[in-house]
């Protein structure tokens, strides 16, 4: 599988946030996005997932252009700008609610995912009682639980303790062979450890591409 981002532009109230962005992603790789706050990374991820509509340019999957008015990228999991869940449900119940939408996975798969992100011991705790790190881990669990072909993670390790970060990193390394993983983080060490290729953003443009 391949994703091609071609000549993407996006403005907000006359402020150009993405300026003629071109990128290429292929299965079997982790792609890191690096840049200061406001450089365009999160906006690009939102355009990819269909949360924002680009002003111009195209995004294609295996040379088929995605028409975001009619469709979205299939089999994609994402965590962008913090997870949102039902506060009165437990961690497991929140994932179960999401899983029922597509009906692709069973309770066992949800439990295995909670184990993967080191949240299994808090599965029956109400989301309202979750710490920042626990909320973040549940967001990662929601993104990965249906085994998507494309995984987009925006600052995934915020507030997560080191032992769980290590476990999640190892999981990402294990699964990347059959996936496209796009990871945005301000932590240089995480970016260089995980990424096969890094796109550096500056003022809404890709300023540099580095093969790690």
Backbone angles phi, psi at 59, to 5 degrees: -125, 125
pLDDT tens-digit series, residues 131-146: 999 999 999 999 999 9
Q: Reduced to 3 states, what is the DSSP secondary structure of residue 92?
A: helix
Output the DSSP codes for 137-163: HHHHHHHHTT--SEEEEESTTTT--HH
Q: Which residues of 116-126 are buried (b: 16+ CB within 10 A; e: fewer)?
A: bbbbbebbeee
pLDDT tens-digit series, residues 139-190: 999 999 999 999 999 999 999 999 999 999 999 999 999 999 999 998 999 9
pLDDT tens-digit series, residues 98-128: 999 999 999 999 999 999 999 999 999 999 9
Domain ranges of the chain: 1-75+150-212, 82-148
Q: What is the dihedral of CA 131, 39, 48, 189, to 10 degrees?
A: -60
Architecture of domain 1-75+150-212: 3-Layer(aba) Sandwich (3.40)
């Amino acid at each position: 599988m391949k994703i091609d981002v071609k000549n993407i532009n996006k403005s907000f109230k006359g402020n150009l946030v993405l300026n003629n962005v071109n990128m290429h992603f292929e299965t079997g790789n982790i792609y890191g996005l690096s840049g200061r706050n406001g450089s365009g990374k999160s906006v690009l991820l939102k355009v990819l997932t269909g949360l924002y509509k680009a002003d111009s340019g195209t995004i294609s999957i295996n040379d088929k252009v995605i028409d975001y008015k009619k469709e979205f990228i299939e089999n994609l999991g994402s965590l962008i700008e913090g997870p949102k869940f039902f506060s009165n449900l437990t961690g497991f119940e929140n994932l179960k609610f999401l899983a029922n939408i597509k009906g692709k996975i069973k309770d066992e798969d949800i439990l295995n995912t909670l184990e993967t992100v080191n949240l299994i011991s808090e599965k029956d705790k109400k989301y309202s009682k979750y710490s920042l790190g626990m909320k973040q881990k549940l967001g990662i669990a929601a993104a990965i639980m249906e085994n998507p072909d494309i995984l987009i993670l925006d600052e995934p390790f915020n507030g997560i303790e080191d032992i769980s970060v290590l476990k999640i990193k190892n999981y990402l390394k294990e699964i990347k062979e059959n996936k496209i993983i796009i990871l945005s983080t301000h932590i240089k060490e995480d970016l260089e450890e995980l990424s096969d290729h890094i796109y550096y953003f500056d003022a809404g443009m890709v300023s540099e591409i580095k093969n790690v």
